[in-house]
Amino acid sequence: MHTRKTLLTLTLAEGTVLWLTVVAGVVHADNLGSSQVPQLASALGRGLAFAMICLVGLYFADLYDIVTLRRGAVFSERLPLALAVALWLLAVFYAVLPQARVSTEILLPCTAIALVLLFSVRAALGHVLRRRQPERVLVLGSGPLAARIVDAVDGKLCGEEVGEHVIVGVIDLAEAGTKGDRQLHDALQSMRPERIVVAAVDRQVPLPLRQLLEGRLHGVAVEDWVPFYERLAGKIALESLTEGSVAFGDGFGEARLHAAFARAVGLVATLIGLTVVAPLLALIAVAIRVTSPGPIFFVQQRVGRYGQPYGLIKLRTMYVTSAAPSEWAQDNAYRITPIGRWLRRFRVDELPQLVNVLKGDMNLVGPRPHPVSNYVTFMEHIPHYALRSVVRPGITGWAQIRYGYANTLEQEIEKMSFDLFYIRNVSIWLDLRILLETVRVVLRGHEGVTADATADATTQAVATDLTRTSA
């Protein structure tokens, strides 16, 4: 059972528990019968709203994390934060929709019962996860590529399924040569792997096909390193992409249903968002004008869909200068104003981009648009860079929540691997996940996971090789 299925099952189970507990409490308190259809429908709706808000609180407290499930004590430690967030959201929700309110006399006992049930569900699932052994993986390969697979399994590359796999061995096919069949045969007998990942770049090295087939006949999964790595690391291995794989392979396009959904959600969210944040924007505008000279808004030409430029609107967070040293964030850190630092931390400076969404220049979710001034350089040095323009850019995106800001060309190449992962796997569910993650980042005031100089040496080496190859 993969992590995503585990977490989805847990979410549905806990949501159902919360929903039915409140519905049962309302039905019992109001003594509702089967003939009172409108009242029963209202109870179902109020219970659903309560359950959804509680799930948001649990998600905000990082309680839908595979590591948390394996460590039962973490649930108790983070539960107060989840309850605080849920109560705050319920107060706001009931203030806006008082007809959906559940009385305190019903809510308190129902919450107590729900907490007992949640603890029971978590304890049972945690027990199953702790007893279940991780999948045993044997890697056929060597060098930097095999090291990347090992890092992905160990969770060092922002993996999705940390703890779902364990490396039992690595066979260097280049060194094994003609003895590769024998080594794999012995490994199948002694290590008993459940999955074999073929991480061989040099296809001139013969693969032990007979032993791979023998493994499959005995129930061992055999998988190429590319999909395995992408699934665990949440990014695409750029060196695995060729013009042929891009031209004839799946993905790298936007389905009409997703395009229509993204546009509809963008329009609705923009109209609501601009209405709600208008007073806040007015106060921030006054603060910007008072604390530093210059305009309130900053408009910069960015690269949009199909490479078309447009003017991206942001709140100004830096002191005005005639010539910036570069487009990299780290080179302009000294220019950030005191209020600009807070605007950036909570991503409030991005709010005016709702106007860009309204105009159709952007979506809520998509690759972050790059400045036009960097376009030629990136096209020359970043492989398959033009694929970023297949979809509309977004206010937030997969690379933003998984990687953060890039300050060098090598980091920009690494960030590109996350953008391409989103473009290949673009879906409504992935968009919703990114939006939820973004809300959590904004509410917590995280600066973003900026790539630093201590990035994995293997990744830097691969990025350097790609730069040289594409230059």
Q: Which of 194, 226, 196 lies closest to 208, judged by CA?
A: 196
* Structure confidence by residue, pLDDT tens digits, 55-99: 989 988 888 877 677 676 778 888 898 999 899 989 989 988 888
- 466 or 311: which carries more pLDDT confidence? 311
Does residue 1 register a pLDDT over 80?
A: no
How far is residue 269's CA from residue 264's CA, in Å, rounded to a whole number?
A: 9
pLDDT band at 324 (very low <50, low <70, confident <90, very high): low
What average pLDDT does range 444-456 have in this prediction?
44
Convert the chain into a string of H (helix), E (strand) and C (coil): CCHHHHHHHHHHHHHHHHHHHHHHHHHHHHCCCCCCHHHHHHHHHHHHHHHHHHHHHHHHCCCCCHHHHHCHHHHHHHHHHHHHHHHHHHHHHHHHCHHHCCCHHHHHHHHHHHHHHHHHHHHHHHHHHHHCCCEEEEEEECHHHHHHHHHHHCCCCCCCCCCCEEEEEEECHHHHHHHHHHHHHHHHHHCCCCEEEEECCCCCCCCCHHHHHHHHHCCCEEEEHHHHHHHHHCCCCHHHCCHHHHHHCCCCCCCHHHHHHHHHHHHHHHHHHHHHHHHHHHHHHHHHHHHCCCCCEEEEEEECHHHCEEEEEEECCECCCCCCCCCCHHHHHHHECHHHHHHHHCCHHHCCHHHHHHHCCCEEECCCCCEHHHHHHHHHHCCCHHHHHHCCCEEECHHHHHCCCCCCHHHHHHHHHHHHHHHHCCCHHHHHHHHHHHHHHHHHCCCCCCCCCCCCHHHHHHHHHHHHHHC
pLDDT digits (tens, 9 = 90+) for 370-391: 999 889 889 998 888 989 999 9
pLDDT at 72: 67
pLDDT digits (tens, 9 = 90+) for 88-144: 989 989 988 888 888 888 889 998 999 999 988 888 887 777 777 788 999 998 778
Query: By percentage, how much of the chain surpasses pLDDT 90?
Result: 34
pLDDT of residue 415: 92
Given a cut of 60, whether residue 468 has pLDDT beyond it is no
- 295 confidence band (pLDDT: 50, 70, 90): very high
**Which contacts qualify for 371-380: CB closer than 8 Å, 24 or more apart?**
371/300, 371/301, 371/302, 371/303, 371/327, 372/301, 372/302, 372/303, 372/309, 373/301, 373/327, 374/327, 375/303, 375/307, 377/409, 378/412, 380/470, 380/471
Residue 471: its pLDDT value, please? 33
Kindly tell me if the per-residue pLDDT of 466 is higher than 80: no
pLDDT higher than threshold 70 for residue 469: no
Q: Which residues contact 433 (CB under 8 A, 6 or more apart)?
A: none
Whole-number percent of the chain with pLDDT over 70: 85
C-alpha to C-alpha distance for 31 and 313, rounded to whole angstroms = 55
Average pLDDT over residues 357-380: 93
The yes-or-no verdict on residue 2 having pLDDT over 80 is no
Q: How does residue 449 score in pLDDT terms, banded at 50, 70 and 90?
A: very low
pLDDT higher for 471 or 130?
130
Give the bridge partners for 166, in sequence order. 136
Q: C-alpha 363: how far from its chain's center?
A: 16
Query: Residue 315: what pLDDT?
Result: 95
Q: What angle do CA 468, 301, 324 make, to 5 degrees?
A: 70
Q: Mean pLDDT across the stretch 15-30?
A: 90
Quote the pLDDT of residue 378. Answer: 92
Greater model confidence, 320 or 353: 353
State the amino acid at position 75 in one-letter form: F
**According to the model, what pLDDT value does residue 284 have?**
94
What order of strands is seen across the sheet that includes strand 221-224?
Answer: 165-171, 135-141, 195-199, 221-224
Predicted local distance difference test score (pLDDT) of residue 407: 81
- With cut-offs at 50, 70 and 90, classify the pLDDT of residue 451: very low
Q: First and final CA of the chain: distance in angstroms?
A: 43
Domains of the chain: 3-131 (no CATH), 135-234 (3.40.50.10700), 256-470 (no CATH)
Contact in structure between 100 and 45 (CB atoms under 8 Å): yes
Contact indicator for 238, 413 with CB cutoff of 8 Å:
yes
| pLDDT at residue 457, rounded to an integer | 37
- pTM across the whole model: 0.77
Does 19 score more than 80 pLDDT? yes
Average pLDDT, the chain: 83
Confidence of residue 462 (pLDDT cuts 50, 70, 90): very low
Indicate the burial class of 438 (C-beta count within 10 angstroms; 0-12, 13-18, 19 or more).
buried
Find the helix packing angle between 180-190 and 209-217, rounded to 10°: 20
Give the pLDDT score at 455: 36
Q: Span 167-196, mean pLDDT?
A: 84
b/e per residue, 180-217, with b = 16+ CB within 10 A?
Answer: bbebbeebbeeeebbbbbbbbeeeebeebeebbeebee
Place of tokens 């049972």: 124
pLDDT of residue 458: 36
The stretch 215-235 carries a mean pLDDT of: 89
If one compares 240 and 315, the residue with the highest pLDDT of the two is 315
What pLDDT does 201 receive? Answer: 66
